[in-house]
Every structure is written in structure tokens, then in C-alpha cells.
Amino acid sequence: MAEVLLLHHAQGLTEGVRAFADRLRRAGHMVHTPDVYDGRTFPTLDEGVAYAGRVGFDEVRLRGVRSADGLPAELVYLGCSLGVMAAQQLAQTRAGARGAVLLEACVPPAQIGAPWPAGVPVQVHGMDADPFFAGEGDIDAARALVEEADDGELFVYPGDRHLFTDGSLPTYDAGAAALVTERVLGFLARR
């Protein structure tokens, strides 16, 4: 059993994010799902990003980082899109990380200000034509990250959807999301 800190995307802690966490729990994992938006969810990505912009993207990231306070050091950090920034920062800078799963986003490790830690495995998942993941360079950062990590995997799915793993959103891709879930569960089973 792994203990996981799951950080939500820009639309908030949606029913789809909660359902994903519940699938991991049913497999025997302990999953923490902090709400860095204080209960707010947004019907569109643009509205969620606008809210994060008003709060401040650094503040949103710091809320995610602070959500690990009081939790054990031996966590797997799982971030979805906007939540990747905090998840990746925690995996790279908080001692004891058991692994990281980055869904639909990735930043170059140097942007975090620390190299990827030795012995910390990572999985990155995204779509090959997602305008954010593929179009804004995250896929290139993911390729570099998995090459740098001792144990890194990059999974790229055909499609152009962002937030395709969230079953409560119209961008959901059931087939790709099922494969992501299978691969994430396999990753967690090894932690």
C-alpha cells in the first residue's frame, strides 16, 4: 500500500478527481486530496485558470506544497495539470519521496531549483496533441525528466484533450483514462 498526496487541477477538486482518488483507495492505497481552492470548482478550464491567476499561481502552488505539512515523508506525489507544480516540487525537494505521478503537465526539473532526486521513480502521462501538454513544451520537459530519473516512464496517448483523466468533465477520454489508472495502480503497487 502506498500513501498518496493527490493535487487537483485548475478546475478544482471536482467529482472526477474525487472518483479517481476513490479508485486508488479501493485498490488499498491511502489517498489525501487537499482542496487548494477552498471548496471552489469551475465549470470550464478558463474559469479555473482565471481563478488561479487572481489568487496567484505561486500561492496556489504553495498551498499544494503546504498540504504535505503534517503528513509522513514517505509519500507518492500525484499532480494533475496545475497540481503538478506542487507535486513535482515536493517530489524533488521533500526528503523521503516514494515517487511521483504527473498527469497532463511537467516542468523541467531545473525550474524547481533542484535536480530530480536519485532513487525517486516518476511516471508522466499526457496526450500527444494536447495544446497544453504537447503544445506548451511539457512533453519535452517530460522526456528530459524521465531520462534524468533513475526510474522514469513517459506515457503518451493519442488525442488532443486536456484533463482527459477527469470523469466529470467533457474532456474525459474513458479509454485513455482507464489505461492511465491501470498504469498508476501498477506504479503504486511497487511503492
User: For domain 3-189, is the CATH number 3.40.50.1820?
Assistant: yes
Q: Dump pLDDT digits (tens) for 117-153.
A: 999 999 999 999 999 999 999 999 999 999 999 999 9
Q: What ranges in the chain are assigned the alpha helix state H?
A: 15-26, 45-55, 57-66, 84-93, 109-112, 138-148, 174-189
* Model pLDDT, residue 127: 98
pLDDT digits (tens, 9 = 90+) for 82-109: 999 999 999 999 999 999 999 999 999 8
Q: Give the chain's mean pLDDT.
A: 97
pTM, 2 dp: 0.97
Q: What pLDDT was estimated at residue 141?
A: 97
Here the cell at position 90 is: 515536493
Q: What confidence tens digit (pLDDT) does each residue in 26-76 have?
A: 999 999 999 999 999 999 999 999 999 999 999 999 999 999 999 999 999
- What confidence tens digit (pLDDT) does each residue in 102-122 have? 999 999 989 998 899 999 999
In angstroms and rounded to an integer, the radius of gyration of the C-alpha atoms of the chain is: 15
